[in-house]
Structure 1
Amino acid sequence: MTFTPHGDHWIAGKRVGASARFSSAPASGSTFEFSAGTPELVAEACAAAEAAFAGFAATSREARARLLTTIADEIDARGAQITEIGSAETGLPAARLEGERGRTTGQLRLFAEHVLKGDYLDRRHDAALPERQPLPRPDLRMMPRPVGPVAVFGASNFPLAFSTAGGDTAAALAAGCPVVVKGHGAHPGTGEVVADAIVVALDALGMDAGIFSLVQGGSRAVGEALVTDPRIKAVGFTGSLGGGRALFDLCAARREPIPFFGELGSVNPMFVLPQAASARGVELGTGWAGSLTMGVGQFCTNPGIAIVIDGPEADAFVQSATEGLKAVAAQTMLTDGMAAAYRDGARRVAEGAGVKSLLSTACEGRAAAPCLFEVSAGDWLENEALSEEVFGPLGLVIRVADAAQMTQIAQSFKGQLTATLQMEAEDIELARALLPLLERMAGRVLANGFPTGVEVCDAMVHGGPYPASTNFGATSVGTLSIRRFLRPVCYQNLPDELLPADLVKV
Structure 2
Amino acid sequence: MSFKPHGRHLIGGEWVGTDITFLSKPVSGAPHAFCEANEKLIDRAAKSAEAAFWNYGYSTRRDRAAFLNKIADEIEKRGSDITEIASAESGLPAARLEGERGRTTGQLRLFARHILDGDYLDRRHDAANPDAIPPSPDLKMAQRPIGPVAVFGASNFPLAFSTAGGDTASALAAGCPVVVKGHPAHPGTGEIVAEAIAAAAEKCGIHPGVFSLLQGASHEAGGTLVTHPLIRAVGFAGSLAGGKALFDLCARRDEPIPFFGELGSVNPNFLMPDALANRGEEIAKGWAGSLTMGVGQFCTNPGIMITLAGPESDRFADAAARALGDVGPAVMLTEGIAEAFRRGRTEIAGTDGVETLVKGDCDGREGAPALFAVAGKDFLANPKLAHEVFGPLGIVVMAANAQEMRAIAERLEGQLTCTLHMDNDDVEFAQSFVPVLERKAGRLLANGFATGVAVADAMVHGGPYPASTNFGATSVGTLAIRRFLRPVCYQSMPSALLPEDLRHIG
User: If the length of structure 2 is used for normalisation, what is the TM-score?
Assistant: 0.99
Residues 239-294 of structure 1, C-alpha deviation per residue, up to 9 Å, x if partnerless? Answer: 00000000000000001000000000100000000000001000000000000000
2:199: which partner in 1? 200
User: 1:424-463 maps to which residues of 2 (within 5 A)?
Assistant: 424-463=423-462
Amino acid at match of 1:83: T
Moved more, 171-180 or 380-389: 380-389
Q: Which residue of 2 aligns with 1:74?
A: 74
Q: How does 1:180-199 map to 2 (within 5 A)?
A: 180-199=179-198
Q: After superposing the two structures, state which structure 1 stretch, 212-221 or 194-203, moved more.
A: 212-221
3-state DSSP of counterpart to 1:428: helix
Tell me what 2:157 maps to.
Answer: 158
Match of 1:106? 106
- Conservation of the 8 A alpha-carbon contact between 1:38 and 1:218: no
Rounded to whole Å, the distance in 2 between the matches of 1:319 and 1:459 is 37
Distance 1:281 1:85 in 2: 41
1:88 alignment counterpart = 88
* Paired position in structure 2 for 1:22: 22
Correspondence list, 1:449-488, <5 A: 449-488=448-487
3-state SS in 2 of match to 1:418: strand
Question: Which residue of structure 2 lines up, in the alignment, with residue 328 of structure 1?
Answer: 327
Q: Give the secondary-structure state (helix, strand or coil) at the position aligned to 2:160.
A: coil
1:228 Cα shift?
0.3
Give the distance between the partners of 1:163 and 1:482, measured in 2 at CA.
16
Q: Spell out the pairing of 1:488-503 with structure 2 (5 A cutoff).
A: 488-503=487-502
Determine the structure 1 residue equivalent to 2:176: 177
Q: Deviations over 1:191-244 (max 9, x none)?
A: 000000000000011110000000001421100110000000000000000000
SS of the aligned residue for 1:282 comes to helix
Deviation at 1:3, TM superposition (A): 2.0
Alignment of 1:106-145 (within 5 A): 106-132=106-132, 134-145=133-144
Partners of 2:203 and 2:303 lie apart in 1 by 45
Q: Which residue of 2 aligns with 1:266?
A: 265
Q: How much does 1:148 deviate?
A: 0.6
Structure-2 separation of matches of 1:361 and 1:478: 37
- Whether 2:359 is the aligned partner of 1:356: answer no
Contact 2:149 2:234 in 1 (8 A): yes
Question: What do the CA deviations read for 1:294-341 (whole angstroms, capped 9, x no partner)?
Answer: 010000000000001111211221111111101111111000000000
Letter in 2 for 1:285: A
- Structure 2: gaps of 5 or more residues: none
Unaligned runs of 5+ in 1: none
Inter-partner Cα distance in structure 2 for 1:502 and 1:272: 49
How big is the shift at 1:2?
Answer: 2.5
Assess if the C-alpha contact under 8 Å between 1:145 and 1:487 holds in 2. yes
Following superposition of structure 1 onto structure 2, how do residues 241-260 of structure 1 map, counting pairs within 5 Å?
241-260=240-259
**TM-superposed deviation, 1:136:** 1.0
2:282 is the alignment partner of 1:283: yes
Structure 2: how far apart are the matches of 1:394 and 1:428?
29
Does the CA contact (< 8 Å) of 2:151 and 2:179 recur in 1?
yes
Cα separation, 2, equivalents of 1:111 and 1:183: 22
| SS at structure 1 position matched to 2:439 | helix
Matches within 5 A, 1:26-65: 26-65=26-65
Matched, 1:239 2:238: yes
Q: C-alpha distance in 2, partners of 1:384/1:353?
A: 12
Report how many residues are paired.
505
2:211 maps to what in 1?
212
What is the CA-CA distance between 1:130 and the residue it aligns to? 1.2
Structure 1 counterpart of 2:7: 7
Cα displacement (A) at 1:430? 1.5
Looking at structure 2, the residues matched to 50 and 30 of structure 1 have their Cα atoms a distance apart, in angstroms, of 37
Matched, 1:420 2:419: yes
Q: Please give the alpha-carbon distance, in whole angstroms, between the structure 2 residues aligned to 1:34 and 1:224.
A: 19
Instruction: Give the 3-state SS of the residue equivalent to 2:209 in structure 1.
Output: helix
SS of aligned partner of 2:286: helix
- Report the CA distance between 1:151 and its aligned residue: 0.1
Asked if structure 1 preserves the Cα contact closer than 8 Å seen for 2:329 and 2:361, the reply is no
Contact 1:153–1:184 under 8 Å retained in 2: yes
Deviations 1:437-477 (CA, angstroms, capped at 9, x unpaired): 10000000000000000011110000000000000000000
Q: What is the CA–CA distance in structure 2 between the aligned matches of 1:158 and 1:38, rounded to whole Å?
A: 25
Contact 2:338 2:364 in 1 (8 A): yes
Partner SS state of residue 438, structure 2: helix
